[in-house]
Structure 1
């Protein structure tokens, strides 16, 4: 399912009207019908429902929704906020149809006192005020209405398309409806996947209004939600005749005297995620420590200087199907030498943690590489790579990920809520799993090991990375279904839950074949 910007949504509407030949009022009718059908699955006819509608297309959708709900016996009051002469075009047509169907409306103009008095008497408020075109501060009376809605304690608030006041493409939110749920039209919008905008959406569902897929392909860049269906399609199946070499020989490089745990978290996660053979390269001074924590791995002790990598790696990179470097490595000259050495060899490489610190000074090497390079920064690391403030990165996650991945020819995994996987061609895949329990040291190290394991198991690189991110988040979600809370989840807990997450999506060979 494509995720779209406001400009792309407008482009889709124009293409559908002008080139496909579906009229604007027909699209509005389809939108209202689709949203109303979803609402009837959430609401009951006995509830008191208030629809607040503006003058634009979002208001027009509200007119159709009100008519449909009323026709099915729902108790709905339609309040129109602007003066009636402001309503034009397709929205005016939808309102005329509403009137001809025998229904009446309440007008906000000249009834302001009554409006604010009765708001608290409703059980449900449906927000059809402003839609995707909003920019800047809200003007009166919309700002006052938003404040009043947000102050109601026992009212369910459902926004249509986007919460009024939230910019479709995300960014700073000054004042907006805080919805319990948002039913977005045709395609989810970028703002639903970037904070702080995403905070206002509540639970998001999508109302498909029948715009042909060809229109979506023609009018949008590929920003796609990675769903369970994708995971089921791309997660590899183990055949009965596989051996350990079939499932990949991986090299993991990391660790230092001060940080022995990070590389072990990555190692355990890689093995839990299917790596066939794993060699862990660590500074020799910590080899006795780490080797006792993961018996299934092989170890390569490396020369050390003050508890960190000296910089020399006696490694035959040709013996490995993929390499991950960075967890717990430290920010020393020796570490930078190790990262530079890894980037010069041809094998898929995953860079995380301290390797991302070092790669800032090694960016030209990324363009020279022929094999895939995967970078997994969190927002702070991305800010350093791009040379800009963290807040700007948060507000421009999609744009900056695409720009960086295309410029440097890498797969970029921008971690955080709704992790974005971007390919060197600029295609983007958004992960819906995970929770705030992952905001703890070690979570990224676990993901590094999972990405290493997944890219060795014969799937496409993008699908492998996206699956690793999805399963990582799903493991954290499963923890919340048990005895854990967002506060107590640790990285080791996530590793232990990887089998449960895989079990949901990875069918065994016999389940795929019937005789």
Structure 2
């Protein structure tokens, strides 16, 4: 699904105007359709307060007020701006509400069953003004059903950044196209359920617009997953290798290998230090094990030349899960990465070998969590989490590789296009989950998908598997085994 920033929305409005579609017409369509959506999600004859700002978001609010009024709801309006300070379309709808006898309030009270926020839209600038913050705090203290129009006030629709005082919506009715920031934390935490109100834009107008932000949902994934042809053999679906593991972290490479097996790879190889060969072999029975010379501490050693010589015989390669931080291991991984020309996923401690690069290496995908991204970018974790979209792009600029930034609303980017995952829940918030994700991506990349596609589909499958795992075990009790067992269900869900 396409996502929009404010420039795209303004561009759509301008193109509509060139085709004689006036702002007042778009406002009427937006407000009427939004009112219908709101009416279906609130009790009949609700006591509603609509808080309207000075821009088109406020104008939409006045149209919504009029239509909900005609549907039998008890409507009150609080305006944050005088009508003479608004544009013609907004002022017109303000005056219509006045003529209809809809009540306008001079102060906000706490006796409403529904509150509708129509203060700010895509033009939001943070931080919020003090007067708006005061209003938002009052609204958030109410127990009423809370509805946001287009965006909750306090969210930057381009980035997902959010003011410390942001309207907490139970659901949001966004106009025409969902906004990028609605699916990126922290912004997504304030939106609740998301509905889209179409505003009457002809489809041909979209032909002149370049979209570069996309939501990864079921339809998106279904189009990308390759068909499993019947006339095939084990080589048809890819020969992949996962390299990692150590005495202290044998579980990580086990999870990645099992996930690759469950995600469609034709042949899975697991290269591990000989110190954990027996442990891994007893659990990962479906993969071919390649024991590597080990350091004294049970990590992968430097002198593993045979793997260096054969590494490009694999269709996709994963390096990192459980690999540890021994300097000799790091030197070997650096040497190995220089030899690799095939699709390569770098995860976990292997990320520490990365150095800034001026040239883009399209065959590499890195998969840091926010803590690892913070180390790579020399920032703190809070900075990464507050501006996830921006820092996902910074990983590309500084390291010249494709990036997947893990977290709530995982972001995948090549620096030109951004893909935001919509699946997953807190069942995935535990150690080992990221290793499963890297194994899923490995299998998909080995099947012939490019790395951005494999990462996007992999993130969605991983999220759905986590959701299913949460149904097997309570969120408190989800294990990696639960998530692994749920991968087949996740694939089945895509095609059902």
Same fold, TM-score > 0.5, yes or no: yes
Q: How does 1:66-81 map to 2 (within 5 A)?
A: 66-81=65-80
More deviation in 488-497 or 442-451?
A: 488-497
Scaled by the length of structure 2, the TM-score of the pair is 0.92
Q: 1:179 aligns with which of 160, 165, 169?
A: 169
Residue deviations 1:47-78, cap 9 Å, x none? 22222222221111011111122223333333
Q: How does 1:197-276 map to 2 (within 5 A)?
A: 197-212=187-202, 215=205, 218=208, 221-276=211-266
Counterpart contact for 2:472–2:482, Cα < 8 Å: no
Q: CA deviation at 1:292?
A: 0.7
Q: Which residue of 1 aligns with 2:412?
A: 421
Q: Distance in 1 between matches of 2:404 and 2:333?
A: 18
The alignment of Structure 1 onto Structure 2 pairs a total of residues equal to: 490
More deviation in 216-225 or 320-329?
A: 216-225
Q: Which residue of 1 aligns with 2:487?
A: 498
Q: Which residue of 1 aligns with 2:276?
A: 286
SS at match of 1:250: strand
SS at match of 2:167: coil
Q: CA deviation at 1:368?
A: 7.1
Distance 1:172 1:166, change over 3 A: closer
More deviation in 413-422 or 391-400?
A: 391-400
Q: 1:473 aligns with which of 460, 463, 470?
A: 463
Q: Distance in 2 between matches of 1:47 and 1:67?
A: 14
Q: Which residue of 2 aligns with 1:511?
A: none
Structure 2 residue ranges without an equivalent (≥5): none
Q: CA deviation at 1:80?
A: 3.0
Residue deviations 1:159-203, cap 9 Å, x none? 101112333333252212111111111222232233333222122
Distance 1:319 1:188, change over 3 A: same
More deviation in 468-477 or 389-398?
A: 389-398
Distance 1:83 1:368, change over 3 A: closer
Q: How does 1:82-481 map to 2 (within 5 A)?
A: 82-99=81-98, 103-109=100-106, 112=107, 115-116=108-109, 119-120=110-111, 122-139=112-129, 141-153=131-143, 155-168=144-157, 169-212=159-202, 215=205, 218=208, 221-306=211-296, 307-313=298-304, 314-315=306-307, 316-343=310-337, 344-359=339-354, 361=355, 363-364=356-357, 367=359, 369=361, 372-405=363-396, 408-423=399-414, 426-480=416-470
SS at match of 1:487: helix
Distance 1:150 1:462, change over 3 A: same
RMSD: 2.3
Scaled by the length of structure 1, the TM-score of the pair is 0.89
Q: Distance in 2 between matches of 1:490 and 1:61?
A: 47
Q: Distance in 1 between matches of 2:156 and 2:324?
A: 40
